[in-house]
Amino acid sequence: ISESEMNDENNALMFATEGGFIKTTLLSEFLSGRCPATGLIAIKLKDNDKLLSVKKVNITDKESTVINYTENGICNRFLVTDIPMIGRNGMGSAIFNSSTMIKNKLISCEVTTSESVSIIAVTKNGIGKASDINDFPIHSRRTKGFIGIQLAGKDKVISAVVVNKDD
């Protein structure tokens, strides 16, 4: 990342955790002049939570959306502009309401700037499902979400990725 991108107040890092928390932090908070040899705290994590994803985003892009998938097949899609801006030492805000995350974890957090993409979810039993991104309505954070893939028995989603329709 160039220094000019680091200083651009529209650029941020988006952090998502397996426990279902999300935040953005301005890139300028990570400038190398402020970074000691040991590094800087980037996100505060709850006990037993793990960092899942870090992506560079433009926090003013009203077309960019985030699609989230849990291991139980529940999804949520919202605008990047709806993600709270929280400093480096902050934990973030919930992606789903608390009932959605009981015995569940986030397995994918993807950013898309196009409506001409699909999301492919794959389960541990080898079942895959490709869906048009437009099948996932834009909601707000902290909702129950919606079913992205029906699971049988104890099957779980292990991966979900955004792909171009031409791929």
| Residue 80 three-state SS | helix
Q: Per-residue pLDDT tens for 50-67?
A: 999 999 999 999 999 999
Selected residue with higher pLDDT from 163 and 3: 163
pLDDT at 17 over 70: yes
**Residue position matching structure tokens 């049988």:** 152
The average confidence (pLDDT) of the chain is 91
d(Cα 43, Cα 110) in Å, to the nearest integer?
A: 18
Q: Please name the residues in contact with 17: beta carbons below 8 A apart, sequence gap of 6 or more.
A: 43, 45, 46, 49, 50, 51, 52, 92, 106
DSSP code, position 9: T
- pLDDT for position 37: 65
- pLDDT for position 135: 92
Place 36 in a pLDDT band, splitting at 50, 70 and 90. low
pLDDT at 150 over 90: yes
As to burial, measured by CB atoms within 10 angstroms (0-12 exposed, 13-18 middle, 19+ buried), residue 25 is buried
Q: Per-residue pLDDT tens for 109-142?
A: 999 988 889 999 999 999 999 999 999 999 988 8
Place 35 in a pLDDT band, splitting at 50, 70 and 90. low
H or E, element range at 147: strand 146-147
- pLDDT for position 8: 84
d(Cα 134, Cα 131) in Å, to the nearest integer?
A: 8
Helix, strand, coil percent content, the chain, rounded in steps of 5: 10, 40, 50
Q: Per-residue pLDDT tens for 93-110?
A: 999 998 889 899 999 999
pLDDT at 33 over 70: no
- pLDDT for position 59: 94
